[in-house]
Amino acid sequence: MPGRTLRRLAIAEAATLIALLFVAVPLKHLAGLPESTRLMGALHGLIFLAFCWAVVRARAEGLLNGKDMVRLVVGACIPFGGIVNERWLRSRAMG
Protein backbone atom coordinates (compact mmCIF):
# COMPACT_ATOMS: atom_id res chain seq x y z
CA MET A 1 0.00 0.00 0.00
CA PRO A 2 1.68 3.30 -1.08
CA GLY A 3 2.69 5.62 1.76
CA ARG A 4 2.38 3.10 4.60
CA THR A 5 6.15 2.71 5.03
CA LEU A 6 6.60 6.48 4.91
CA ARG A 7 4.01 6.99 7.67
CA ARG A 8 5.51 4.30 9.88
CA LEU A 9 8.97 5.78 9.44
CA ALA A 10 7.63 9.28 10.24
CA ILE A 11 6.33 7.96 13.58
CA ALA A 12 9.53 6.00 14.30
CA GLU A 13 11.63 9.07 13.46
CA ALA A 14 9.54 11.26 15.79
CA ALA A 15 9.75 8.68 18.61
CA THR A 16 13.54 8.28 18.39
CA LEU A 17 14.09 12.06 18.22
CA ILE A 18 11.92 12.57 21.31
CA ALA A 19 13.73 9.72 23.11
CA LEU A 20 17.08 11.21 22.13
CA LEU A 21 16.24 14.74 23.31
CA PHE A 22 14.14 13.97 26.38
CA VAL A 23 15.66 10.71 27.66
CA ALA A 24 19.18 10.20 26.32
CA VAL A 25 20.40 13.81 26.64
CA PRO A 26 19.21 14.18 30.29
CA LEU A 27 20.75 10.78 31.07
CA LYS A 28 24.05 11.99 29.64
CA HIS A 29 24.14 15.31 31.49
CA LEU A 30 22.34 14.45 34.73
CA ALA A 31 23.28 10.81 35.25
CA GLY A 32 26.71 10.88 33.60
CA LEU A 33 25.86 8.26 30.97
CA PRO A 34 27.40 9.43 27.68
CA GLU A 35 26.63 6.04 26.10
CA SER A 36 22.93 6.91 26.11
CA THR A 37 23.32 9.66 23.47
CA ARG A 38 25.88 7.62 21.53
CA LEU A 39 23.46 4.70 21.12
CA MET A 40 20.26 6.71 20.77
CA GLY A 41 21.97 9.13 18.38
CA ALA A 42 23.04 6.26 16.12
CA LEU A 43 19.57 4.70 16.22
CA HIS A 44 17.88 8.01 15.46
CA GLY A 45 20.39 8.63 12.64
CA LEU A 46 19.53 5.27 11.12
CA ILE A 47 15.76 5.90 11.31
CA PHE A 48 16.17 9.47 9.99
CA LEU A 49 18.12 8.15 6.98
CA ALA A 50 15.48 5.49 6.36
CA PHE A 51 12.79 8.21 6.49
CA CYS A 52 14.71 10.40 4.01
CA TRP A 53 15.12 7.37 1.74
CA ALA A 54 11.37 6.70 1.89
CA VAL A 55 10.69 10.38 1.03
CA VAL A 56 12.95 10.11 -2.05
CA ARG A 57 11.23 6.87 -3.06
CA ALA A 58 7.75 8.40 -2.63
CA ARG A 59 8.84 11.36 -4.80
CA ALA A 60 10.10 8.99 -7.53
CA GLU A 61 6.86 7.07 -7.22
CA GLY A 62 4.92 10.26 -7.92
CA LEU A 63 3.25 10.45 -4.49
CA LEU A 64 4.99 13.68 -3.42
CA ASN A 65 6.19 16.86 -5.11
CA GLY A 66 9.36 18.84 -4.30
CA LYS A 67 7.56 21.09 -1.81
CA ASP A 68 6.16 18.06 0.03
CA MET A 69 9.67 16.58 0.28
CA VAL A 70 11.06 19.76 1.87
CA ARG A 71 8.10 19.94 4.26
CA LEU A 72 8.59 16.34 5.41
CA VAL A 73 12.39 16.55 5.85
CA VAL A 74 12.21 19.92 7.70
CA GLY A 75 9.39 18.55 9.88
CA ALA A 76 11.50 15.51 10.72
CA CYS A 77 14.24 17.76 12.13
CA ILE A 78 11.86 19.38 14.65
CA PRO A 79 10.82 17.56 17.85
CA PHE A 80 7.22 16.29 17.47
CA GLY A 81 7.36 17.34 13.80
CA GLY A 82 7.31 13.68 12.80
CA ILE A 83 3.88 13.31 14.40
CA VAL A 84 2.61 16.29 12.40
CA ASN A 85 4.19 14.69 9.28
CA GLU A 86 2.37 11.40 9.93
CA ARG A 87 -0.99 13.14 10.38
CA TRP A 88 -0.42 15.18 7.24
CA LEU A 89 0.45 12.03 5.26
CA ARG A 90 -2.67 10.30 6.63
CA SER A 91 -4.83 13.29 5.71
CA ARG A 92 -3.56 13.01 2.14
CA ALA A 93 -4.99 9.47 2.13
CA MET A 94 -1.72 7.92 1.02
CA GLY A 95 -2.75 4.60 2.44
Using CB under 8 A as the criterion, what x/- string covers residues 45-64 for binding other proteins?
xx--xx--xxxxxxxxxx--
Would you say 42 or 80 has its CB closer to other proteins?
42
Nearer to other proteins, 14 or 44 (CB): 44
Nearer to other proteins, 23 or 80 (CB): 23
| CA neighbor of 64 nearest in space, from 15, 2, 13, 14 | 2
Rule CB under 8 A: which of 20-39 touch other proteins? 38-39
Number of residues that bind other proteins (CB under 8 A): 18
Task: Single out the residue of 39, 50, 58 nearest to residue 82, CA to CA.
Answer: 50
- Cα separation, 12 vs 89, in Å, equals 14
Nearer to other proteins, 70 or 80 (CB): 70
Q: Which residues bind other proteins (CB under 8 A)?
A: 2, 38-39, 42, 45-46, 49-50, 53-62
